[in-house]
Structure 1
Amino acid sequence: MIVSEIDIVIQKSNRKTVSIFIERDGSVSARVPEKLSDEEIRDILKAKEYQIFKNLAEWTQLNENAVEREYVNGQSFLYLGRNYRLKLVDEKLDGVQFKRNTFFLSKEDKHKAKELFIKFYKDKLNSKIYPIIERYKNQLGVEPNQVKVMELQNRWASCTPNGNVNFHWKCAMAPIDVLHYIVVHELSHLIHNNHTKAFWNEVDKILPKYDEQVNWLKINGVGMSL
């Protein structure tokens, strides 16, 4: 649906309110109640036009800090909230190696460097995410059906209607406290499949200062890329 020259992707679901999101790629999406007609949706989005433009302007400003990474000596890559340099070496290595606060990659593997970095982040996130889930699922009294680390395009994580919880491999780039927030956020969706006040109260019970992690993602999320 196009409103004031903005192409907005509409997602209807069993919800009571309209929520508008600026996705990480700058696209705009709106989640709306199924019962609303196209005309009613258009009127609501028109009324929220100022907020949409304000959020888009903010997204543009934040994305001025986007990082274009190259797989060369000295290039920095994020891991658990900190930047570490890459060193290309002559010897054969088994993928990307991280030791002594440095990433190492064999020169002969440079042509598939992105693929190997993604595998590194997936492996590391898989090793770190499950203990965090075990900790918070007991506090929240929930049990996810399946947990997967995968490519999620413009989302850090997702919770499906059948109880599956998915995490973007890029989450391995975030600090541990931010990773804890992402886990709590998704597990809370097993209780409230929305972003109502009740949902945020659930998150707040576990992480009273979660707004600090939200702000970190808002400012630094654009740099969590390859």
Structure 2
Amino acid sequence: MVIWGIDIQITKSNRKTVSIYVERDGTVAALVPEYLTDEEVIEVIKTKEYQIHKNLAQWTQLNEAKVEREYVSGQSFMYLGRNYRLRLVDEKLGEVKLKNGYFLLSRQEKLKAKELFVEFYKSKLKEKIWPIIERYKGQLGVKPQELKIMELQNRWASCTLKGNVNFHWKCAMAPIDVLNYIVVHELAHIIHPNHSSEFWNTVDKVMANYDSQIKWLRMNGAGMDL
């Protein structure tokens, strides 16, 4: 649906309110009550013009401000929704460590700092995500198969038709509440391999406040990088 020259992706679901988001790639998506006609959807979205343009402006600002982090003492790196400063140390560690409120990295290993940070995030995410999967798979009645932590480009996670679930290592930067949402989102795809109203209804049944988690990802996603 194109309004004001903006292509807005509409998804109808069993909900009472309209929620509008700017996706990571800059596209606009709207979740609307399924009982609304197309004409009513247009009218409601027109009342959200200020919000849509504001969200697009925020997305543009966030992405313009995106910079690659430098691996120097004092640079901040995110983990589970909090920022921790990096401290370069003289001893050889062979890994990135989080200790006493600081990320520790050996000066000798600075050239492979990104690789070591990615390994840190992969390892920590695997530890954190298993209990979350165990918690929600029963509520959703699904049996996920293989779990992988990997590079997924612009996606936070993905689910295959066989029920394998993949998570971007960057998810380790998100708060636990947001990580819970990402897990629920992918487990729901085992039931509904799409973003239909049935899919969003399934997510809503186990996580009624998922809108706030989506908003956090929209606002902070650009900064979750190395």
Residue matched to 1:102? 102
What letter corresponds to residue 142 of structure 1 in structure 2?
V
Q: Match for 1:225: what amino acid?
A: D
Kept in 1, the 8 Å contact 2:76–2:86? The answer is yes
Secondary structure in 1 matching 2:163: coil
> Residue 114 of structure 2 corresponds to which residue in structure 1?
114
The residue type equivalent to 1:148 in the other structure is K
The equivalences for 1:38-187 within 5 A come to: 59-187=59-187
Give 1:193's aligned residue: 193
Q: What is the one-letter code of the residue matched to 1:122? A: K
Change (3 A) 1:116 1:151: same
The structural deviation recorded for 1:67 is 3.6
Counterpart code for 1:64? E
Q: Distance in 1 between matches of 2:115 and 2:56?
A: 31
Q: Which gives a bigger RCO, structure 1 or 2 (Cα 8 Å, sep 6+)? A: 2
CA distance in 2, matches of 1:67, 1:78: 14
Q: CA deviation at 1:161?
A: 1.5
2:217 aligns with 217
| CA displacement, residues 91-149 of structure 1 (integer Å, 9 cap, x when unaligned) | 11131010111000000000000000000000000111111000100010001121110
Query: Hey, what's the Cα distance between the residues in 1 that align with 2:194 and 2:25?
Result: 22
Q: Find the aligned partners of 1:25 and 1:142 in 2 and give their Cα distance.
A: 30
Distance 1:121 1:151, change over 3 A: same
1: CA distance, partners of 2:67 / 2:129: 26
Listed as ranges, the gaps of 5+ residues in structure 2 are 1-11, 13-20, 28-48
8 Å contact from structure 2 (residues 69, 75) kept in 1: yes
Amino acid at match of 1:138: G
Q: Secondary structure at the match of 1:190?
A: helix
Residue 179 of structure 2: SS of its match in structure 1?
Answer: helix
Give the AA of the match of 1:77: F
Question: Cα deviations across residues 182-222 of structure 1 (Å, max 9, x unaligned)?
Answer: 00000001111111111111111111111010000000010
Find the aligned partners of 1:217 and 1:66 in 2 and give their Cα distance: 15
CA distance, structure 1, for counterparts of residue 98 and residue 204 of structure 2? 35
In structure 2, C-alpha distance between the alignment counterparts of 1:192 and 1:149, rounded to whole Å: 22
Provide the secondary structure at the position in 1 that maps to 2:94. coil
Give the direction of change, closer, same or farther, for the CA distance of 1:188–1:117 in structure 2 (3 Å limit): same
Counterpart amino acid of 1:103? F
Displacement of 1:68 = 2.6
Q: Deviations over 1:29-63 (max 9, x none)?
A: xxxxxxxxxxxxxxxxxxxxxx9x96866532331
3-state SS of the aligned residue for 2:190? coil
User: 1: distance between equivalents of 2:66 and 2:178?
Assistant: 19
Counterpart of 1:126 in structure 2: which amino acid? K
Structure 1 gap segments, 5+ residues each:
1-16, 29-50
| Native 8 Å contact 1:23 1:154 kept in 2 | no
Which residue is 2:4 aligned to? none
Residue type at the aligned position of 2:208: P
Give the 3-state SS of the residue equivalent to 2:87 in structure 1.
strand
Paired residues of 1:149 and 1:166 also in contact (CA < 8 A) = yes
